[in-house]
Amino acid sequence: MKYKILENPNYEETYDLIEEGLKKKATILLFACCRVSYEGRSLSELDYGERIIMMKPDGCFLIHQDNKVDPVNWQPPKSRPRAYIKDEILFLESHRRSPPERIEVEIKKVHYANYNLIEDYEELERAGYEKDMGDMIWDKPHIIEEGFRPTVREYATEHGFIDILGKDSKGNLMVLELKSRKAGITAVKQIRRYLTDFENKENSEIKAKNGQKQKIRGLLVAPSIGDDALELLEEEGIEFVSVEPPRELKKDKRVTLDSFG
């Protein structure tokens, strides 16, 4: 059977449904009055109230109240779920090691319970990431400025990776730090560290070669920048270029309706 639904089941019926659902690696949903204890990275108690309990086949365990996006209590994937009856009361448990964490749910009244073998073979396709910005700038460097030539991506320095390294039309070195969202003060500091790393390197290597000091330009590339960050950036002589992350999906994927008859 692909699914099962029970309305107002007693604790034994609910127990059987959960056991069956777990065995079949189904996704289990309960709407029940329950009490929740959590102990692990933190410690919490939640007294009796009606909540939605979700147990996914990957081991996730979620308890949702009637507000908020986040569950009030949860366990991550690969946790071990279990149901048991003690003194005619149904308990749910989800446990994991490393770090040791345990949720215990005391079920008082189940309004409905169901499990479903979910058929879902699709993954979310997203746009607007930092990587997408990098791809876009790599492909169309004129977005930054006319004559910009990117040379290296993810260039390693002592303090981390420079997103894009390149040269401007005059041959000056350009250090680009990309942010897919509004840039903060930390982004400016990050560039400052990169520039310092580079100046040190330059002093020991590049300068030795051609005997003259090469200009290095630091660029913060983001859709926008915070006021405080802008202030620091100007102090530091770093430039800001406003670039919107690419807001388009790359693939033209099509799935026919027929595949879900």
98 interacts with, out of a second copy, DNA, none, CB within 5 to 8 A per kind: DNA
Say which residues have a Cβ less than 8 Å from residue 199's Cβ, sequence separation at least 6: 216
Please provide the size of the chain in residues.
Answer: 261
Identify residues 97-126 at the interface with a second copy (CB under 8 A): 108-109, 111-112, 114, 116, 118-126
Residue 42 binds a second copy (CB under 8 A): yes
Q: Least separation, in Å, of the C-beta of 104 and a second copy?
A: 13
Residue 182, classed as helix, strand or coil, is coil
Q: Least separation, in Å, of the C-beta of 24 and a second copy?
A: 12
Is residue 129 a contact partner of residue 121, using CB atoms and an 8 Å limit?
A: no
Residue 10 binds a second copy (CB under 8 A): no
Q: Number of residues in contact with DNA, rule: CB under 7 A?
A: 31
43 vs 208, beta carbon nearer a second copy: 43
Q: Which two tokens stand for residue 102?
A: 């345990």
Q: Which two tokens stand for residue 152?
A: 């290296």
Residue 209 binds a second copy (CB under 8 A): no
253 interacts with, out of DNA, a second copy, none, CB within 5 to 8 A per kind: a second copy
User: How many angstroms separate the CA atoms of 67 and 179, rounded?
Assistant: 32
Residue 253, classed as helix, strand or coil, is coil
Residue 186 binds DNA (CB under 7 A): yes
Residue 251 binds DNA (CB under 7 A): no
DSSP designation for 244: P
Of the candidates 229, 14, 252, the residue with the CA atom closest to the CA atom of residue 114: 14
Of the candidates 174, 155, 160, the residue with the CA atom closest to the CA atom of residue 216: 174
Q: Which two tokens stand for residue 71?
A: 């569950």
CB-facing half-sphere around the CA of 95: CA atoms within 13 A: 6
Torsion of CA 41, 47, 53, 59, to 10 degrees: 20
50 vs 156, beta carbon nearer a second copy: 50
- The CA radius of gyration of the chain, in Å to the nearest whole number, is 28
Q: Least separation, in Å, of the C-beta of 137 and DNA?
A: 15
User: How many angstroms separate the CA atoms of 165 and 157, rounded?
Assistant: 11
Residue 50 binds a second copy (CB under 8 A): yes
Residue 186 binds a second copy (CB under 8 A): no
Q: Which two tokens stand for residue 160?
A: 């981390």
17 vs 30, beta carbon nearer DNA: 30
Q: Least separation, in Å, of the C-beta of 115 and a second copy?
A: 10
Q: Least separation, in Å, of the C-beta of 200 and DNA?
A: 19
Among 41, 97, 142, 209, binds a second copy (CB under 8 A): 41
Footprint of a second copy (CB under 8 A): 3, 5, 7, 27, 29, 31, 33, 35, 41-52, 54, 56-58, 60, 62, 64-69, 71-74, 76-77, 108-109, 111-112, 114, 116, 118-129, 181, 247-249, 253, 255, 257, 259-260
